[in-house]
Amino acid sequence: MKAALQAATARHPAARPGTPPTLRGLELQVAAGEQVAVIGPSGAGKTTLLQLLAGALPPSAGVLQLDGQSPWHLPRTELQRLRGRLFLAPQVPPLPPRQRVVTSVLAGRLPAMGTWQSLRSLFYPVDIPAAFEALDRFDLADKLFERVDRLSGGERQRVGLARALLSPASLWLIDEPLSALDPTRASQAIDTLLSAARERGTTLVATLHQVDVALAHFPRIVGLRDGAIAFDLPAAQVGRERLAALYAQHEHELTGQAPESPEPVQAPQPVVMHCR
């Protein structure tokens, strides 16, 4: 799926009236099958950008087009169909605590299923081998029947990513997929995601905190700062100076050192995938 933003402006849903928009006049074209990493300091608007691309947040000005269609102007049935082709993975996957891993992973298919089929799948996991295979690619095959609340934060995050592999979506929007993973796991997880996306021709837009991982694995890098695109370049052309400017006053995020006053861990947020 190709995605395009034209002069798109968006406001964080919880932003106070009168505050400047979170994203300002974004121009972005992502071709079908492309793999793009979005980097930038905390508060730059990376998560808001993914929500905008997922049709979960309306642009307050400008246009979002997914395969040439504006989700905010589609009739209900077509909108439903389009939603089934999108997969948004939030940074903290919203996994119901008592659920089994197998059910959580198979939930990756829900947006593309009808109501009865999805209800049935919650009670009778229908494709256990597919869930096993997806978990195995993230080194979690032994957790298939484990309860989600017995997993570590990193394991939970990888279950959230295994969900993407089950999703038949043609656009994956993945928010900070590696934030709870150690460097080895992070590298393995990003390789798995990128190769799965490549195998299927799925378009992948991921926000990443780890600049070195973004540069090493993604062909195209979008630098976002203060709600605007600072650069949009092939990874090889980004260079130290641009990174230094992107992270000015946020150097600890670039060097990977802990900030002086770490932000509290974000509580799981409900994912709203509705355009209306």
Ligand X SMILES: Nc1ncnc2c1ncn2[C@@H]1O[C@H](COP(=O)(O)OP(=O)(O)O)[C@@H](O)[C@H]1O
Among 4, 5, 36, 44, interactor with ligand X by CB under 6 A: 44
Q: Which is nearer to ligand X, 112 or 205 (CB)?
A: 205
Give the residue carrying structure tokens 């229908």: 126
Among 9, 35, 47, 210, interactor with ligand X by CB under 6 A: 47
Rounded least distance, CB 52 to ligand X, Å: 9
Q: Which is nearer to ligand X, 44 or 196 (CB)?
A: 44
By CB under 6 A, is residue 12 in contact with ligand X?
yes
Query: Candidates 11-19, 72-80, 212-220, 262-270 — which segment interacts with ligand X by CB under 6 A?
Result: 11-19
Rounded least distance, CB 176 to Mg ion, Å: 6
Give the residue carrying structure tokens 């630098």: 223
- Residue 75 has, within 13 A of its CA and on its CB side, a CA count of 2
Q: Which is nearer to ligand X, 9 or 22 (CB)?
A: 22
By CB under 6 A, is residue 125 in contact with ligand X?
no
Bridge-based pairing state of the strands 35-39 and 220-225: parallel
Taking the C-alpha atoms of 201, 138, 107 and 267 in order, what is their torsion angle to the nearest 10 degrees?
Answer: -110
CB-based contacts of 149, cutoff 8 Å, min separation 6? 97, 98
Query: Candidates 41-49, 81-89, 245-253, 254-262 — which segment interacts with Mg ion by CB under 5 A?
Result: 41-49
By CB under 6 A, is residue 14 in contact with ligand X?
yes
Per the CB < 8 A criterion, the answer to whether 250 and 42 are in contact is yes
Alpha carbons 50 and 204: distance in angstroms, whole number:
11
By CB under 5 A, is residue 167 in contact with Mg ion?
no
Q: Which is nearer to ligand X, 35 or 47 (CB)?
A: 47
| CA neighbor of 27 nearest in space, from 259, 254, 220, 224 | 224
Q: Which of residues 22-41 bind ligand X (CB under 6 A)?
A: 22, 40
Query: Of these partners, ligand X, Mg ion, none, which one is at the site of residue 125 (CB under 5 to 8 Å by kind)?
Result: none
Rounded least distance, CB 227 to ligand X, Å: 7
Bridge-based pairing state of the strands 35-39 and 23-30: unpaired
Give the residue carrying structure tokens 């926000």: 207
Query: Of these partners, Mg ion, ligand X, none, which one is at the site of residue 44 (CB under 5 to 8 Å by kind)?
Result: ligand X
By CB under 6 A, is residue 15 in contact with ligand X?
yes
Q: Which of residues 151-180 bind ligand X (CB under 6 A)?
A: none
Q: List phi, psi (to 5°) of 261.
A: -120, 90
Alpha carbons 158 and 140: distance in angstroms, whole number:
8
By CB under 5 A, is residue 47 in contact with Mg ion?
yes
Per the CB < 8 A criterion, the answer to whether 108 and 164 are in contact is yes
Among 7, 31, 32, 42, interactor with ligand X by CB under 6 A: 42
What secondary structure letter does DSSP report for 163?
Answer: H
Interface residues with ligand X (CB under 6 A) are: 12, 14-15, 22, 40, 42-48
> Could you list the residues that contact Mg ion (CB under 5 A)?
46-47
